[in-house]
Amino acid sequence: MKNQILFIVFAFSILTSSSQTWQTQVYDMSNTFMKSNDVRSIDYNDSLIYFHTIRYYATFSYHFEIYNNKNQAFDSITSFSSNPFRSFYLKFNKGNDTLFFVSWDEINYFDQNSWKIYKGWPASELISNYNSRFDNNFNFILCSIFPNHLSFINPMSQFGRIAIPSSLTQSTPTLIEAIEIDSSGNYWTANCLDSGVFRYDKSNNSWTKYNQGYKTTHITKDKRGNLWFNNTTNAGVLKYDGTFWTSFDTINSCLDKRFYQPHIETFDNNLWIVDNDTITGELIIAKIQPDNFCIVFDSLGIIAEPRQFVIDSTETLWIATDKGVITFRDTGIYVNSIQAHNPKINNIMVYPNPTSDFITIDFGEIQKSEFEIEIYNITGQRVKSIKFKGKSLAEVNVKDLSQGLYIGKIFNSNSFVQTFKFVVE
């Protein structure tokens, strides 16, 4: 069965981070006890952030660290040596408070003070990548080295595989790249060749392919149950709400071509996107809110390759990179497409909307301040920049702008920023 997809396109609010509304911290060998800056994976449990690094010597050694966010202190747990090319990632099972380490051909778990092999996993069963999930019954679902197969092991140490029917896939068998479990307990997967995603319905053991036309390597779920997919074909992300697909791409959102193969995770109903600029190597981050408000943080000044990231209870991003662990926290406030660092300054009005020649900006009771107004088109390109001082009303000439949707940003000397949308007819 092949489902055709109905896409919905909205007018999205766009903002780029020209004023600093974020905080970052780099944890590496220079400021911690870490043995290596090469952080391969990361996971968390409440206030504890687990991550592992690899140190390249005659015998390759794994180092497993913990950062206690409450105590703001690092600690380490028992390490062991092995071939680093067998390593993949850490995974914390919040259901039974067990830390797992998944490698190429075995699964280890941390029991009090030592690592033990998880019994029941066949020595001949190989694992292809770091994507995995625990379902509602604590089954551990992983990507098998067998093409188009999911592997699983249940709490009773019973092992099995689930195969995507060859009738739904490309002619060339390939490996599964992503796994997520929806609110109904169904498994969603994607591979690196098929332009589409697959859903496994556990109630009747059937597979469905959704031909959304894009290739996907990461899938995640928000608090509302929406599924999010990265788009590695045209850059961007997709959202599926159970009925409709919504595309956030380079045309209708703040995302540009730099978000080519992004890592995605959710916090409540916010989607966070992490990637690095393929030309400069600089870390770039974006956020999409439930009201489709989109913002890019692209002036972080950190050159790093992201491998994986998690989000803690304070909505701080913990990013595993080749330059250490990098934290990112957005300190702006965004409500209905309005960003306000000073909530008391919220009475600026913009009219008429839509317009064909001028927009009027009423600064109200704060007219004595100096303001700068920047206007961006739907692709995120700045098309105007105007300064005003000591005026209660300011007119901006938009006759030279093409018809379409525009985003305005208002700054004052106190770094307050307010955004607004308007349409040129």
Determine the Cα–Cα distance for residues 239 and 219; give it in Å rounded to an integer: 10
The answer to which of 254-263, 271-280, 290-299 has the lowest mean pLDDT is 290-299
Type of residue at 23: Q
Give the neighbor-by-neighbor strand order of the sheet with 39-45: 39-45, 48-55, 61-68, 73-77
The answer to which of 192-201, 324-333, 353-362, 376-385 has the lowest mean pLDDT is 376-385
- State yes or no: pLDDT of 346 exceeds 70: no
- State yes or no: pLDDT of 353 exceeds 50: yes
Q: Can you give the pLDDT at residue 322?
A: 92
User: pTM value?
Assistant: 0.73
Determine the Cα–Cα distance for residues 262 and 128; give it in Å rounded to an integer: 19
Q: What is the largest CA-CA distance in the chain?
A: 75
Mean pLDDT of the residues in the chain: 79
**pLDDT top residue among 78 and 264:** 264
Q: Can you give the pLDDT at residue 347?
A: 53
366 phi and psi angles, rounded to 5 deg: -110, 30
pLDDT-derived band at 267, boundaries 50, 70, 90: very high
Q: Can you give the pLDDT at residue 188?
A: 93
pLDDT tens for 229-259 read 988 877 789 899 888 888 888 777 788 888 8
Q: Can you give the pLDDT at residue 60?
A: 60
Enumerate domains of the chain plus CATH numbers. Answer: 2-335 (2.130.10.10), 340-424 (2.60.40.1930)
Please state the rounded mean pLDDT for residues 397-407: 87
pLDDT-derived band at 379, boundaries 50, 70, 90: low
- State yes or no: pLDDT of 16 exceeds 60: no
Q: What percent of the chain has pLDDT above 90?
A: 20
Is residue 211 within 8 Å of residue 198, measured between CB atoms?
A: no
Nearest to 22 by CA among 247, 334, 266: 334
17 phi and psi angles, rounded to 5 deg: -85, 75
- State yes or no: pLDDT of 96 exceeds 70: yes
The alpha helices in 210-360, defined as continuous H runs, are none
pLDDT-derived band at 370, boundaries 50, 70, 90: confident
- State yes or no: pLDDT of 216 exceeds 70: yes
pLDDT tens for 305-315 read 999 999 998 89
- State yes or no: pLDDT of 23 exceeds 90: no
The answer to which of 179-183, 290-294, 416-420 has the lowest mean pLDDT is 416-420
